[in-house]
Structure 1
Amino acid sequence: MAKDRFDIKEKETMNLLTETMVIVDKETGVNYLYVGRGYGGGLTPLLDADGKPIITKDGYKK
């Protein structure tokens, strides 16, 4: 996997142990939500109302 494949679109730190990020895959444009808390965390694709992945059009490599 390329080091520069993913881009952090938004980042919010809620307290010392909790942060959320929206991460974009630059090759596919798919948006992911990452939530980290303490020593744990989770990553999931962001979905629209129809259950399809949210795509950032300018996230694609040209």
Structure 2
Amino acid sequence: MDNRFEFIEKNGLMEGTRIIVDKETGVQYLLAHWTNIGGLTVLVDKDGKPLLDPRYAK
């Protein structure tokens, strides 16, 4: 599991946000974190389907 996720954007919308990709599925996530709190959510397109990184999408 150590290599399953890749940071693809470390300079996100604001400090404390990261975009990561699941290399097994290609699904992209937004990770937001501040001090001791945070959240993770899937990024979706205009139709509500998960955004996929074409390098990993199957």
TM above 0.5: yes
Which has more helix, going by share of residues? 1
Aligned mate of 2:27, from 21, 27, 30: 30
Name the counterpart of 1:21: 18
TM-score, normalisation: structure 1: 0.81
Name the counterpart of 2:47: 50
Which has more strand, going by share of residues? 1
Which amino acid is 1:6 matched to?
F
1:27 Cα deviation after fit: 0.3
Secondary structure of the residue aligned to 1:57 is coil
RMSD: 1.6
Which consecutive aligned stretches of 4+ in structure 1 deviate over 3 angstroms post-superposition?
none
Runs of at least 5 residues in structure 2 that lack an aligned partner in the other structure: none
* Rg larger for: 1
Name the counterpart of 1:6: 5
% identical aligned pairs: 46
Deviation per CA, 1:20-44: give whole Å up to 9, x if none: 0000000000000000011000000
Q: Distance in 1 between the 2:41 and 2:21 partners?
A: 11
